[in-house]
């Protein structure tokens, strides 16, 4: 295969996924993500958005087709990946600091470097003063920040975010969106983000993949050419609001496609 | 956060004073019943001060018996905790393992101590060994059941997170499943803690050795009841209670140390 331009960091070629003899979950998914892309997957429930993330993580195999992650099969690229879920999934008996260093502990890193990294990660999400706290002492937004700091502690090349802010109120969500982009200015990872919120998708991403359901297909790709860094002013701009309207309309037409 | 309201302070004082108040009330009722009894019935219920006198008179015997019973209770309880933890780890491996072992654990639990005692006496002889094994048998089951339940009840999301991080099986067990099982472990420990003293006293009755001052509180109970020393029986009961309280208090303290910082059950309603 001839390759134009830089090698993509994640490439899906004709990926099909079904579980056992069950229905087709993903049908013929092909896309290529470049380094530094912030790609949001949006679509009706059951369109297989989260399955795409699971396939990138290498936790599940494809049924047919091919996935290349950083020049390797997904399961070979696991140290380069990090996850953030809708639930913060913190261990309640570990302090904030010890939750953040946990993935490094699991990888067998030495304690001194682990805690150094944990401190830096927590500084990035603005929780340096909460290091010794236990999760039950934190608010929902703070727990999610810790979860993000934990994901960042392994210096990932690729960040997989599965509706991380879905359970938070709108104010907190907007705030964390801005923080996430600010951190991305400092550490260049490629992000795959799953959400139900069009506004969030447009605000964060440079590319939006609108998916349709049963079976999951990529319906359209929308490029978001709003300049980074994006701030509260971005949300007020006419071009942002036009894009939100455009993607919402697409999502509605995709919903109508449902059998 | 608001300053403690006077009503809150009052209710806190009340929770400290009330148990004392009910205690005093019960002693007064006790005396009242004693006074109401006819002289020929009086020996059935000794007055509080008569129990106190028996307590002092029998002090050395009670102390020695409490030490013997305490030793059996502690050894049986300790070995039950250690072995039940290992057993629970094995049982948590798979439903198949649980299905193959649970029926036999049940049988062990169902067999009455009074039947086990003569067998134990034949095997290891009467005395501390038998008392320890009987205490172990009584404490083991609730510990295994609770700890196993804890080890297999780990939050699914957390298990998935560990798998996604490619954690090893050992890391999953010791960094995730064991700490997540601690609240269940301590529930089992509380039950076993209350049973340990009872187990050691029952063990002493059925399989104790009274020779050379080795008798425990169970042995004293047999002696005092044979001699109709009701006051001394009451004093023995009080010492048994006290010993049980020491166990339970120790377990509650351990549980607090291990859980109060992070577990929901110790959350103070202060916000």
For residue A73, what is the domain's CATH number?
3.40.50.300
Cα separation, B231 vs B238, in Å, equals 11
DSSP state of A208: E
Among the listed residues A81, A85, A94, the one whose alpha carbon sits nearest the alpha carbon of residue A55 = A81
Q: Is residue A149 part of a domain?
A: no
pLDDT exceeding 70 applies to what percent of chain A? 97
Residue with more model confidence, B4 or A158: A158
What's residue B271's pLDDT? 43
SS3 (DSSP) at A48: coil
Confidence of residue B1 (pLDDT cuts 50, 70, 90): very low
Per-residue pLDDT band at B2 (split at 50, 70, 90) = very low
Instruction: Please give the residue that has the higher pLDDT: either A259 or B145.
Output: B145
Asked if residue A98 is part of any domain, the answer here is no
Beta carbons of B264 and A89 less than 8 Å apart: no
Structural domain includes residue A181:
yes
Chain A residue numbers touching B158 (CB-CB < 8 A): 89, 91
| Nearest Cα residue to A96 out of A126, A63, A73 | A126
> What is the nearest CA distance from B128 to chain A, expressed in angstroms?
39
Domain-embedded: residue A3: no
The DSSP line for chain B is --PPPHHHHHHHHHHHHHHHHHHHHHHHHHHHHHHHS-GGGGGGS--HHHHHHHHHHTHHHHHHHHHHHHHHHHHHHHHHHHHHHHHHHHHTT-HHHHHHHHHHHHHHHHS-HHHHHHHHHHHH-SSHHHHHHHHHHHHHHHHHHHHHHHHT---HHHHHHHHHTT--HHHIIIIIIHHHHHHHHHHHHHHHHHHHHHHHHHHHHHH---GGGT--HHHHHHHHHHTT-HHHHHHHHHHHHHHHHHHHHHHHHHHHHHHTTT-GGG-----
- Option in A94, A106, A136 nearest B165 (CB): A106
Would A85 be classed as within a structural domain? yes
Give the pLDDT band (50/70/90) at residue A124.
Answer: confident
How many other β-carbons are positioned within 10 Å of the β-carbon of residue B89? 17
- Interface predicted TM-score of the whole assembly (ipTM), two decimals: 0.86
The answer to whether residues A90 and A147 touch, using CB atoms and an 8 Å cutoff, is yes
Report the pLDDT value the prediction gives residue B155, as an integer from 0 to 100.
92
Total Cβ atoms within 10 A of residue B270: 5
Q: Which pLDDT belongs to residue B5?
A: 56
pLDDT level of residue A258 (50, 70, 90 thresholds): low
Smallest CA–CA distance from B167 into chain A, residue? A106
**Per-residue pLDDT for A135 more than 50?**
yes
Q: Is residue A135 part of a domain?
A: no
Degrees to nearest 5, angle at CA B148 with B143 and B255:
55
pLDDT at B198: 92
User: Which of B157, B165, B268 to probe the A interface (max A CBs under 10 A)?
Assistant: B165
> A-chain residues within 8 Å CB-CB of B160?
89
Q: What is the pLDDT of residue B90?
A: 93
**In this model, does residue A259 exceed pLDDT 60?**
no
Cβ-Cβ contacts under 8 Å, B166 against chain A: 78, 106
Q: Determine the pLDDT at residue A5.
A: 64
The better pLDDT of the pair A218, B4 is held by: A218
Q: Decide if pLDDT at B142 tops 70.
A: yes
Interface of B with A (CB under 8 A): 155, 157-158, 160-167, 171, 175-176, 179-180, 182, 261-264, 267
Instruction: Check if the beta carbon of residue B143 is closer than 8 Å to that of residue B81.
Output: yes
With an 8 Å Cβ cutoff, are A92 and B161 in contact? no
Q: Considering only the beta carbons, identify the residue of A83, A87, A136 that sits closest to B264.
A: A136
Structural domain for A74, as ranges: 10-89+156-256
Residue A1 clears pLDDT 50, i.e. is over it: no
Label residue A96 by pLDDT band (50, 70, 90).
Answer: very high
Q: Out of B166, B171, B262, name the one closest to residue A134 (CB).
A: B262
Residue A126 banded pLDDT, cuts 50, 70, 90? confident
Q: Are strands A81-84 and A158-162 parallel, antiparallel or unpaired?
A: parallel
Q: Which of the residue ranges A169-173, A219-223, B146-150 would you say has the lowest mean pLDDT?
A: A169-173
User: Average pLDDT, whole number, for chain A?
Assistant: 89
Taking 90 as the threshold, does the pLDDT of residue B71 lie above it?
Answer: yes
Radius of gyration of chain A (CA): 18
Mutate to test the interface with B, among A54, A89, A148, A154 (most CBs of B within 10 A): A89
* Whether the Cβ atoms of residue A24 and residue A51 lie closer than 8 Å to each other: no
The count of C-alpha atoms lying within 13 angstroms of the C-alpha of B189, restricted to the half-sphere facing its C-beta, is 24
Count A/B contacts: CB-CB distance under 8 Å.
Answer: 46
Domain edges within chain B:
1-45, 47-266
Residues 6 or more apart from B169 whose CB is under 8 A from it? none
| Sequence-ordered alpha helix ranges (H) in chain A | 49-57, 96-100, 102-107, 111-124, 140-152, 170-186, 198-204, 232-236, 238-256
For residue B165, which residues of chain A lie inside 8 Å, CB to CB?
A: 102-103, 106-107
Buried b (16+ CB within 10 A) or exposed e, B220-257: bbebbeeeebbbbbbbbeebbeebbebbbeebeeebee
Tell me the pLDDT tens digit for each residue of B76-91: 999 999 999 999 999 9
Assess if residue A233 is contained within a domain: yes
Statement: residue B166 has pLDDT above 80: yes
A134–B267 CB contact, under 8 Å: no
- CA–CA separation, B91 vs B137, rounded Å? 18
Sheet holding A24-33, edge to edge: A24-33, A10-18, A64-69
Please state which CATH class domain B47-266 belongs to: mainly alpha
Residue B103 has pLDDT above 70, yes or no: yes
Q: Indicate the length of chain B as a whole number.
A: 271
In a domain, A119, yes or no: no
Max distance between CA atoms of chain B, in angstroms, equals 79
pLDDT computed for residue B270 by the predictor: 47
Q: State the pTM of this model.
A: 0.84
CA B194/CA B205 separation, integer angstroms:
18
Number of Cβ atoms within 10 Å of the Cβ of B263: 18
* Residue scoring higher pLDDT (A72 or B169): B169
Q: Nearest-CA distance from A87 to chain B in Å?
A: 8
Tell me: pLDDT of B58 over 70: yes
């Amino acid at each position: 295969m001839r390759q134009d331009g830089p090698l993509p960091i994640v490439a899906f070629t004709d990926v099909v996924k079904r579980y056992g003899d069950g229905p087709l979950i993903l049908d013929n998914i092909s896309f290529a993500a470049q380094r530094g892309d912030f790609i949001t997957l949006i679509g009706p429930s059951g369109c297989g958005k989260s399955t795409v993330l699971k396939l990138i993580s290498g936790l599940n195999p494809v049924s047919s087709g091919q996935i290349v992650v950083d020049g390797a099969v997904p399961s070979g690229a696991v140290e380069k990946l990090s996850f953030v879920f809708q639930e913060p999934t913190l261990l309640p008996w570990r302090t904030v600091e010890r939750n953040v260093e946990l993935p490094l502990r699991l990888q067998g890193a030495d304690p001194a470097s682990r805690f150094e990294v944990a401190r830096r990660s927590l500084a990035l999400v603005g929780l340096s003063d909460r290091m010794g706290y236990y999760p039950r002492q934190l608010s929902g937004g703070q727990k999610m920040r810790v979860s993000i700091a934990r994901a960042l502690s392994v210096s990932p090349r690729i960040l997989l975010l599965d509706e991380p802010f879905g359970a938070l109120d709108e104010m907190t969500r907007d705030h964390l969106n801005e923080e996430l982009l600010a951190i991305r200015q400092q550490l260049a990872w490629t992000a795959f983000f799953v959400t139900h919120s069009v506004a969030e998708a447009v605000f964060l991403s440079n590319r939006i993949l609108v998916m349709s359901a049963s079976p999951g297909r990529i319906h359209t790709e929308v490029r978001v050419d709003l300049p980074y860094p994006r701030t509260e002013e971005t949300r007020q701009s006419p071009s942002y609001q036009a894009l939100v309207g455009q993607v919402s309309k697409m999502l509605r037409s995709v919903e109508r496609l449902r059998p | 956060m608001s300053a403690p309201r006077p009503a809150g302070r009052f209710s806190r004082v009340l929770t400290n004073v009330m148990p004392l108040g009910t205690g005093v009330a019960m002693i007064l009722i006790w005396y009242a019943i004693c006074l109401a009894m006819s002289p020929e019935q009086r020996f059935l219920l000794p007055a509080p001060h008569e129990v106190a006198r028996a307590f002092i008179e029998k002090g050395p015997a009670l102390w020695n018996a409490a030490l013997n019973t305490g030793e059996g209770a502690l050894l049986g309880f300790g070995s039950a905790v250690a072995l039940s933890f290992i057993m629970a780890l094995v049982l948590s491996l798979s439903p198949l393992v649980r299905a193959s072992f649970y029926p036999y654990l049940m049988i062990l639990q169902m067999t009455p101590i009074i039947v086990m005692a003569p067998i134990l006496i034949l095997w290891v002889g009467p005395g501390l060994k038998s008392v320890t094994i009987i205490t172990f048998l009584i404490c083991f089951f609730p510990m295994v059941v609770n700890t196993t339940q804890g080890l297999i009840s780990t939050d699914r999301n957390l298990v998935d997170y560990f798998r996604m991080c490619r954690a090893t099986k050992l890391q999953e067990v010791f960094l995730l499943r064991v700490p997540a099982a601690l609240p269940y472990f301590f529930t089992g420990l509380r039950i076993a803690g209350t049973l340990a003293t009872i187990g050691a006293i029952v063990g002493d009755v059925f399989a104790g050795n009274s020779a050379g001052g080795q008798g425990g509180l169970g042995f004293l109970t047999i002696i005092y009841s044979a001699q109709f020393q009701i006051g001394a029986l009451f004093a023995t009961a009080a010492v048994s209670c006290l010993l049980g309280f020491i166990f339970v208090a120790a377990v509650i303290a351990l549980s607090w140390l291990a859980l109060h910082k992070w577990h929901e059950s110790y959350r103070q309603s202060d916000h």
